[in-house]
């Protein structure tokens, strides 16, 4: 995990590498990239200008997971109503 201080807001960004994102979501690394390319998953942040290393903002990944849970709960509510 990589940490970066956000001086503008006084908070800390947590940057997650692909393995941790895969662990959190239960989605394979290659499918995470597929979802990103489709606009269905948060885009990664380049770690070095012009480099190939990327990471994801933990807050965006957790928000995506939360959206999936909310979508599930709405679908369950619709099928029970």
- Tell me what the pLDDT averaged over the chain comes to: 90
* pLDDT reported for residue 40: 98
The secondary structure of 42-75, three-state, reads: CCCEECCCCCCCEEEEHHHHHHHHHHHHHHHHHH
Threshold 0.85, pTM exceeds:
no
For residue 9, what pLDDT is reported? 63
Mean pLDDT of 30-56: 97
What number does CATH give the domain 2-80? 1.10.1660
Closest CA to 32 of 11, 55, 51, 13: 55
Looking at the chain, the whole-number percentage of residues with pLDDT higher than 90 is: 75
Judge whether residue 33 has pLDDT over 80.
Answer: yes
Q: What mean pLDDT is predicted for residues 41-45?
A: 97
Domain range list for the chain: 2-80
> What's the mean pLDDT in 36-44?
98
């Amino acid at each position: 995990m990589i940490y970066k201080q956000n001086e503008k807001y006084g908070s800390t960004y947590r940057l997650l590498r692909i393995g941790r994102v895969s662990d959190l979501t239960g989605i394979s690394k290659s499918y995470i990239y597929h979802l990103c390319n489709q606009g269905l998953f948060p885009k990664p942040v380049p770690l070095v200008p012009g480099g190939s290393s990327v990471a994801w903002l933990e807050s965006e990944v957790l928000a995506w997971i939360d959206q999936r849970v909310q979508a599930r709960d709405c679908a369950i509510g619709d099928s029970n109503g």
